[in-house]
């Protein structure tokens, strides 16, 4: 009979059937000799009940994705400073029976930008005002002076600009689709797409014609890896960062919290691109 697995970890969310996270996590565990298994746990409703099951069965840790990153917070026993400031949790650690919430999404934005772009920028445009946008804005707090937030629902962009105001010299909410967004896109150093616009072929969140030559374009979407936004930016010779970088960096940071190890981001990316995608 085979030995039971020592550590069990999950991703909760809905829908998550096509998630790449188990591939990334189980690859890290294999490569580092950790006797752990990471599985999907689709939660359509009754989050409270699932958390009770996790507590009762002594889950080692779990990740949280759409639509629970904010709602999960009320079921946890503690929050890291980052999670509290961002207002969202994507990683939970079971610390001797206490469930502690963390946010590693912001590092999924911060690490690739500082690695491929630098750490001192004047202006950035964030498209979207959901959980991922919040993490992105937080990630830019020490490396960008001025932020614009463009969202379909203007009131949410406004809410975020109030929430994160203290971190920036200036922060301006915009209505996605307005002329103002196009003007801003032509002058910023970084554009980050934190909406699902681009998952369907041919669609992009903003017109790309006006993007200037030095802009770094970051798309959080990883399916497809080359979104229309990134394709157009590449055609213009701009530096681009795809959502797979974010996915891998946030995963590596989650594993660091659970097992105190540093996994090799580039090796994981090679594995995913060559053997999974």
Ligand X SMILES: NC(=O)c1ccc[n+]([C@@H]2O[C@H](COP(=O)([O-])OP(=O)(O)OC[C@H]3O[C@@H](n4cnc5c(N)ncnc54)[C@H](OP(=O)(O)O)[C@@H]3O)[C@@H](O)[C@H]2O)c1
Angle among Cα 217, 220, 226 to the nearest 5 degrees reads: 70
**Helix (H/G/I), strand (E/B), else coil: 217:** strand
Among 130, 164, 168, 208, binds ligand X (CB under 6 A): 130
Least spacing, CB of residue 198 vs ligand X, in Å: 8
Among 92, 100, 171, 194, binds ligand X (CB under 6 A): 194
Q: Does 54 bind ligand X (CB under 6 A)?
A: no
Using the minimum distance from each CB to ligand X, give the nearer residue, 152 or 158: 152
Q: Does 131 bind ligand X (CB under 6 A)?
A: yes
Using the minimum distance from each CB to ligand X, give the nearer residue, 51 or 135: 135
Least spacing, CB of residue 220 vs ligand X, in Å: 4
Query: Cα-flanking dihedrals φ and ψ of residue 8, to 5°?
Result: -115, 130
Closest-approach residue to ligand X (CB): 130
Known active-site residue 231:
no
Where in 134-193 is the site for ligand X (CB under 6 A)? 151-153, 156, 176
The verdict on whether omega for the bond into residue 224 sits within 30 degrees of 0, i.e. cis, is: yes
Q: Does 108 bind ligand X (CB under 6 A)?
A: yes
Locus of tokens 């936004």? 229
Among 13, 87, 117, 243, binds ligand X (CB under 6 A): 243
Which of 198, 202, 238, 201 is CA-nearest to residue 221? 198
Among 247, 252, 255, 268, binds ligand X (CB under 6 A): 247
> Binding-site residue total for ligand X (CB under 6 A)?
25
Cα separation, 250 vs 237, whole angstroms: 27
Using the minimum distance from each CB to ligand X, give the nearer residue, 59 or 139: 139
Q: Which stretch binds ligand X (CB under 6 A): 52-60, 96-104, 128-136, 140-148?
A: 128-136
**C-alpha dihedral, 42 to 46 to 47 to 53, nearest 10°:** -80
Cα separation, 237 vs 242, whole angstroms: 15
Cα separation, 110 vs 118, whole angstroms: 10
CB 113 within 8 A of CB 241: yes
Stated as kind and residue range, the H or E segment containing 148 is: strand 144-151
Which position among 3, 48, 52, 69 bears the catalytic label? 69
Cα separation, 168 vs 205, whole angstroms: 24
Among 196, 225, 239, 256, binds ligand X (CB under 6 A): 196
Q: How far is CA 126 from CA 123, 161, 251, in A?
A: 10, 11, 22
Q: Does 255 bind ligand X (CB under 6 A)?
A: no
Among 132, 238, 241, 272, binds ligand X (CB under 6 A): 132
Contacting positions for ligand X (CB under 6 A): 66, 105, 108, 128-133, 151-153, 156, 176, 194-197, 220-222, 243, 246-247, 250
Which residues are marked as active site? 69
């Amino acid at each position: 009979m085979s030995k039971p697995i020592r550590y069990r970890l999950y991703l909760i969310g809905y829908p998550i059937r096509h998630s790449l996270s188990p591939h990334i996590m189980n690859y890290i565990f294999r490569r580092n000799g950790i006797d752990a298994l990471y599985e999907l746990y689709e939660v359509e409703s009754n989050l409270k009940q699932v958390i009770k099951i996790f507590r009762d069965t002594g889950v080692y840790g779990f990740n949280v994705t759409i639509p629970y990153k904010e709602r999960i917070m009320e079921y946890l026993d503690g929050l890291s400073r980052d999670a509290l400031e961002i207002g969202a949790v994507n990683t939970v650690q079971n610390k001797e029976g206490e469930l502690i919430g963390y946010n590693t999404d912001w590092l999924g934005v911060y690490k690739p930008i500082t690695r491929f772009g630098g750490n001192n920028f004047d202006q950035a445009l964030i498209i979207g005002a959901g959980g991922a946008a919040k993490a992105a804005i937080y990630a830019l707090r020490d490396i960008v002076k001025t932020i614009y937030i463009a969202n379909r629902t203007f009131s949410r962009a406004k809410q975020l600009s109030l929430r994160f105001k203290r971190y920036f010299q200036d922060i301006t909410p915009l209505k996605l689709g307005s002329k103002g967004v196009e003007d801003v896109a032509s002058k910023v150093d970084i554009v980050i797409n934190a909406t699902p616009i681009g998952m369907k072929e041919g669609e992009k969140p903003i017109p790309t014609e006006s993007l200037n030559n030095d802009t770094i374009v970051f798309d959080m979407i990883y399916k497809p890896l080359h979104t229309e936004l990134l394709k157009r930016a590449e055609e213009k010779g701009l530096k681009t960062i795809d959502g797979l970088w974010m996915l891998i960096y946030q995963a590596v940071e989650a594993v660091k919290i659970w097992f105190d190890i540093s996994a090799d981001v580039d090796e994981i990316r090679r594995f995913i691109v060559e053997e999974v995608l």
